[in-house]
Amino acid sequence: MSTYADAGMLKNRLSSLTLTQFIVEDTNGDQQLALLMNAVQHACKVCANAIRKAGPCDLYGLAGEVNSTGDDVKKLDLIANTVWVDSLKQSGVCCLLVSEEEEDPIIITDVNKRGPFCVAFDPLDGSSNIDCNVSVGSIFSVYRRLSPSTENATVKDILRPGTECIAAGYSMFGAATELVITYGQGVYRFALDRAIGEFLFVEQVRFPQDGGKKIYSCNEGNLNSWDQPIKDYVHSCKNTGYAARYVGSMVSDVHRTLLYGGIFIYPADKKNAKGKLRVLYEGFPMAMITEQAGGVASTGMFLGKIGRIQDVVPEHIHDRCPIIMGGERDVKALLAMYESKA
């Protein structure tokens, strides 16, 4: 039995498209973008290794700090942030970095060690779950700078709507390490084969045409603080055979929604008028991926209108927006409840 399994594994390793090959082919000769994406995959591999060894290496627990958005910082948050910042800086193709863990943007001033890209990232999304071994991940979005390359980049180069994002993705660290990416022409899923240290192609991701499984994902502990249409939608899910699934790690919940169908909801509430998820490194990349996979990504009722997440213009680097994303069947059903209340 093991002989057949080993032979099948070897055949898969030899025949599968690696992420490195995909990057070279899919960046259409853009050497700088290829360097950036290789830096991203390197950061994901290093983070995966640190997370896998967290228990034996005493990396669980709090670091005794608070990050830019007021969250308690875990030891692994600091490690992941260092890994991402160093990897992107050393790529030599970035001019500005925005991290959830950094209060201010990181501006690369050395002309010989910078390039055209601005990258926003959450180095370890869902880290509040890390100590109980729940899946976590990293999320990123990429912009091409607008300011002259001879000058230092400014926040204006990245405070732009998600429609101007040129690439996005996330890595999920769970039973397997996966990396999901888009350049705006489809969504591609890769899984890390630790034995050879390569991400191997799994599939092109598309939402199920029929809407997929009937799953809704939200933190119902906040239900009483939500808009009435969202309350009504959640109640309708309960009465029409939908299953509730909520991990509390955006990467995990969105990943499941992409693969199985359904809807992920993290709306504004009475305490957080803009919601809690950050636009640049949570909302935009996940919205871009959702739309490229054939889904819908909406803010719901936000700033007086119903709109796309991708059309939001962030006011500062840690700005927030409400999130409603998933298959067309379910998101449109929720938005129809807003329209019926109008």
- The CA distances from residue 341 to 104, 237, 238, 263, 337, in Å, are 40, 18, 20, 21, 6
Active site residue 339: no
Candidate list 198, 227, 269, 282, residue with the active-site label: 282
**How would you write the chain as a 3-class SS string?**
CHHHHHHHHHHHHHHCCEHHHHHHHHCCCCHHHHHHHHHHHHHHHHHHHHHHCCCCCCCCCEEEEECCCCCEEEHHHHHHHHHHHHHHHHHCCEEEEEECCCCCCEECCCHHHCCCEEEEEEEEECHHHHHHCCCEEEEEEEEECCCCCCCCCCHHHCCCCHHHCCEEEEEEECCCEEEEEECCCCEEEEEEECCCCEEEEEEEECCCCCCECCEEECCHHHHHHCCHHHHHHHHHHHHCCCEECCCCCHHHHHHHHHHHECEEEECCCCCCCCCCCEHHHHHHHHHHHHHHCCCEEEEEEECCEEEEHHHCCCCCCCCECCEEEECHHHHHHHHHHHHHHC
Candidate list 33, 97, 124, 179, residue with the active-site label: 124
Candidate list 76, 125, 258, 291, residue with the active-site label: 125
Candidate list 30, 71, 220, 232, residue with the active-site label: 71
Active site residue 146: no
Active site residue 100: yes
Using an 8 Å Cβ cutoff, are 221 and 33 in contact? no
Active site residue 86: no
CB contact burial 250-288 (16+ within 10 A = b; e otherwise): bbbbbbbbbbbbbbbbbbbbeeeebbbbbbbbbbbbbbb
Active site residue 315: no
Residue located via tokens 């209340």: 341
Active site residue 157: no
Candidate list 76, 101, 198, 334, residue with the active-site label: 101
Candidate list 33, 36, 76, 77, residue with the active-site label: 77
Catalytic site residues? 71, 77, 100-101, 122, 124-125, 282
